[in-house]
Amino acid sequence: MSSSTDSATTSSPMDGWVVRLCEEEMPVFAQTIGEINKILGKEEYSSLSLARVVLQDPSMTAKVLKLANSAYYNPGGTSISTISRAVVVLGFNAVQAICVTIAVIESLVKGNAKDRVMRELARSIHAASQARSIAVAQRDQSSEEIFIAALLMNLGQMAFWCFAGEEGEQLDKALINSPQRDPQEVEREVLGFRLSSLTTALAEEWKLTSLVHEGLKGAASRDPRGRLINLGHQIAIESENGWNSPGIRKLATEVGKITGKASGEVAPMLEACACEAVTTARTMGAGMAARLIPVPNKKSDPESSFEVGEVLSWADPDPMLQLKILRDITATMMSKPDLGMILEMVLEGIHRGAGMDRTILALVSPGRAMVKAKHVLAPDRLRLLDRFWFEMGKPPKTLFTEIMDGAESVWVTDYQDPSLAPLLIGPLLDVVERAKFFVAPVCYSGQTIGMFYADRHPSGRELDADAFEAFKLFVHQANMGLDHVARLRVAAAAQTAAKPK
């Protein structure tokens, strides 16, 4: 039967699966991919935009930072405590690859994690690691894109087995009863479509990298990177028969030809990559899949020393983390002083280090007519981005306009406090649901350009003196950093003006 006939006769059941996966079963994955695609769609996409996507999810934040400090991504051992700095040090593409991997894993482990799901996930993580390793050995500039494509090449299979109920049981039984038949033919017979076709449909729906399609073509792909992805999957599958199998030796010879490495170098490279895939899987929360990745000397492999536990919905204050982030901010100021980067890192420090539920950086408009939320870390982020704003220079005077006049940090605990009550008015207080909060001005070159706001209202946790001190310390660090940037710009301008024309 031709592929066009196959497509025409199977579109309806497969379309139903695409809708179900996008709207019901994998919304978090769809949202993460959508956010990343929006960033990549901009002419000059920002590393800070990617950092904000990560910071919306505490679990993803913890896992990204754990991997950012791993031997693979950070061989120099430089301590990385903030997502903003992770993007700078590791690069946009590496953090993007980590985010996509985490999104896939979190979607699958929350589903009905059957044996077939974990087996497919283990193979995919292993294959992605092998394909990237070979790409790096080739000095390919798109090694992280190759990793993502290899990881997602079996997305249809993984998603189906994770969320299939009765249909999954029927297909499972048919595959067990027909071990000699081509699995794709069995899939089409039972489901009305092939699971590889579901991967293609999902790749189009979610606008995944075009390399996924090349990987699906296998050895027939005209793109060398597509063949590389196929090679990674072949290694992952064949290694399940043992690292000394004839199939692995044949594939190792092929890798040697591609990379120019001697045969004695290739085998250790492939085996080391398998061990790294195990670490990656565990760090990202896929401990069950990690145990299915074949590695040499399995008995000596620790059972699960890299597992990441459940991350609490609300971050607890962490003095050690505060110190690490403050050091990161100082390092950034010294090495790459950038106004936006410093403000983002301070925002993250307040949110994660001081353990706040909602943290907002609001900046003044160019004409100083309005102050509006620019960056928000909160469960209701979009609502606050839209509604957290107020006008400048118009009566009545409020606490927020007072802050913009250069007031010190303020901790609001009692709306009836005689010293604050006259200023605690205006619609913005309704936007923050009349929460207890911290607020402080942000200054640049002697002028207030915005403010930081933080509260714990959604969780109902009380603010305390330690949190307020941490909040003030981070704001102070922000103002010091901005002052440093201002002085550098003045010096640069003076140097330019002094040059002979």
**pLDDT (0 to 100) of residue 328:** 87
Task: Please determine, for residue 299, whether its predicted confidence score (pLDDT) is greater than 70.
Answer: no
Question: In angstroms, rounded to a whole number, what is the distance separating the alpha carbons of residues 47 and 215?
Answer: 28
**pLDDT (0 to 100) of residue 313:** 64
Task: Please determine, for residue 293, whether its predicted confidence score (pLDDT) is greater than 90.
Answer: yes
Strand-pair partners of 453: 360, 439
- Give the pair of three-digit tokens for residue 487: 């002085």
pLDDT band at 12 (very low <50, low <70, confident <90, very high): low
Lowest mean pLDDT among 71-75, 141-145, 446-450, 452-456: 71-75
Q: Rounded mean pLDDT of 441-445?
A: 89
**pLDDT (0 to 100) of residue 436:** 96
**pLDDT (0 to 100) of residue 310:** 41
- Helices (H) and strands (E) in the chain — how many of each? 23, 6
- Give the pair of three-digit tokens for residue 400: 């927020």
pLDDT band at 393 (very low <50, low <70, confident <90, very high): confident
Q: Rounded mean pLDDT of 266-289?
A: 89
Question: In angstroms, rounded to a whole number, what is the distance separating the alpha carbons of residues 240 and 291?
Answer: 12
Task: Please determine, for residue 305, whether its predicted confidence score (pLDDT) is greater than 90.
Answer: no
Nearest Cα to 406, choosing from 448, 369, 438, 368?
Answer: 448
Class of domain 3-300: mainly alpha
Amino acid in position 178: S
pLDDT above 90 coverage of the chain, percent: 37
- Give the pair of three-digit tokens for residue 390: 């107020």
Task: Please determine, for residue 365, whether its predicted confidence score (pLDDT) is greater than 80.
Answer: yes
Average pLDDT, rounded, for the chain = 85
Task: Please determine, for residue 204, whether its predicted confidence score (pLDDT) is greater than 90.
Answer: no
Strand-pair partners of 375: 361
Neighbours of 483 (CB within 10 A): 15
Task: Please determine, for residue 288, whether its predicted confidence score (pLDDT) is greater than 90.
Answer: no
pLDDT band at 10 (very low <50, low <70, confident <90, very high): very low
**pLDDT (0 to 100) of residue 297:** 62
**pLDDT (0 to 100) of residue 112:** 56
E-state strands within 300-436 = 358-364, 370-377, 389-391, 410-412
- Give the pair of three-digit tokens for residue 51: 């950092």
Burial of 475 (0-12, 13-18, 19+ CB in 10 A): buried
Nearest Cα to 206, choosing from 241, 167, 248, 155?
Answer: 155
pLDDT band at 137 (very low <50, low <70, confident <90, very high): very high
Strands across the sheet containing 358-364: 389-391, 370-377, 358-364, 447-455, 437-444, 410-412
Nearest Cα to 215, choosing from 204, 232, 199, 227?
Answer: 227
The residue that leads in pLDDT, 81 or 72, is 81
**pLDDT (0 to 100) of residue 406:** 78
CA distances from 67 to 110, 138, 321, 357 (A): 21, 23, 16, 24
Lowest mean pLDDT among 141-145, 358-362, 496-500: 496-500
**pLDDT (0 to 100) of residue 422:** 92
**CB crowding 420-459: b at 16 or more within 10 Å, else e:** beebbebebbebbeebebbbbbbbbeeebbbbbbbbbbeb
pLDDT band at 127 (very low <50, low <70, confident <90, very high): very high
- Give the pair of three-digit tokens for residue 105: 């894993």
Question: In angstroms, rounded to a whole number, what is the distance separating the alpha carbons of residues 275 and 66?
Answer: 17
**pLDDT (0 to 100) of residue 501:** 64
Architecture of the 319-496 domain: 2-Layer Sandwich (3.30)
Lowest mean pLDDT among 81-90, 217-226, 229-238, 279-288: 217-226
> What is the DSSP code (8-state) at residue 396?
S
Going by DSSP bridges, is the β-strand pair 410-412/437-444 parallel, antiparallel, or unpaired? antiparallel
The answer to whether residues 111 and 117 touch, using CB atoms and an 8 Å cutoff, is: yes
Task: Please determine, for residue 6, whether its predicted confidence score (pLDDT) is greater than 70.
Answer: no
**pLDDT (0 to 100) of residue 271:** 92
Q: Rounded mean pLDDT of 394-404?
A: 90
Q: Which residues contact 416 (CB under 8 A, 6 or more apart)?
A: none
Domains 3-300 and 319-496 alike in fold? no
Q: Rounded mean pLDDT of 305-322?
A: 65
pLDDT band at 3 (very low <50, low <70, confident <90, very high): very low
Task: Please determine, for residue 249, whether its predicted confidence score (pLDDT) is greater than 80.
Answer: yes
Q: Where are the domains of the chain?
A: 3-300, 319-496
**pLDDT (0 to 100) of residue 133:** 94
pLDDT band at 166 (very low <50, low <70, confident <90, very high): confident
pLDDT band at 309 (very low <50, low <70, confident <90, very high): very low
Lowest mean pLDDT among 88-97, 290-299, 398-407, 466-475: 290-299
Task: Please determine, for residue 411, whether its predicted confidence score (pLDDT) is greater than 90.
Answer: yes
Residue 442 phi/psi, 5-degree rounding, is: -115, 125
**pLDDT (0 to 100) of residue 44:** 62
CA 61 to chain centre: 7
**pLDDT (0 to 100) of residue 48:** 75
Question: In angstroms, rounded to a whole number, what is the distance separating the alpha carbons of residues 56 and 59?
Answer: 9
Amino acid in position 420: L
Q: What is the pLDDT of residues 183-200, one digit of tens each?
A: 899 999 999 999 989 998
The residue that leads in pLDDT, 310 or 454, is 454
